[in-house]
A = this chain, B = another copy of it.
Amino acid sequence: MVIRHETFTVATEDRLQFMDLTKRVRDLLQGHKIKQGLIILNSLHTTTALFINEWQEALLHDVQLLLDRLVEQGNGYRHNDPSYSDCDRSNAASHLRSLLLGRQLSVPVVDGEMSLGTFESIIFAELDGPRERQIQLQILAAKEG
């Protein structure tokens, strides 16, 4: 078995921001010349998320709406309260939103291509930006070439 690792950086510009990573991950995959395997993507942060769904501006607006409804920004969180927490970012909602969306994806590689449905994209969610973020890519493969 072949195992490869690399870490790449994304720079976000807003407090809450979505980025389509599909092309970037595809380009990284092509550098490894893997035919059959599995890609594992992990965001190494507690206030970000990774998910697969349709990349459409209107829908991503609705994802933000859902996050605002389910996890309100200020709502009596202890993580934002200096008497309970030494975190000064007031980002409890960002942590909780990350839990609901998840921070990891596994994408099979078949005949050199990522196995994604027609409308599926790999989407990174910045939930407490702007920041520089590290995403780790692992590839498991039967062999090279």
Contact = CB atoms under 8 A, between A and B. Distances in A.
Given A5-B108, A108-B5, A62 B77 contact: yes
Contact of A108 (B57, B77, B100, B138): B138
Contacts of A85: 56, 58-59
Interface stretch (A8-16, A21-29, A44-52): A44-52
A105 B87 CA distance: 26
Contacts of A81: 58
Interface of A: 1-3, 5, 36-38, 40, 42-46, 51-54, 56-59, 61-63, 65-66, 70-71, 75-79, 81, 84-85, 87, 92, 95-96, 98-108, 110, 115-120, 134, 136, 138, 140-143
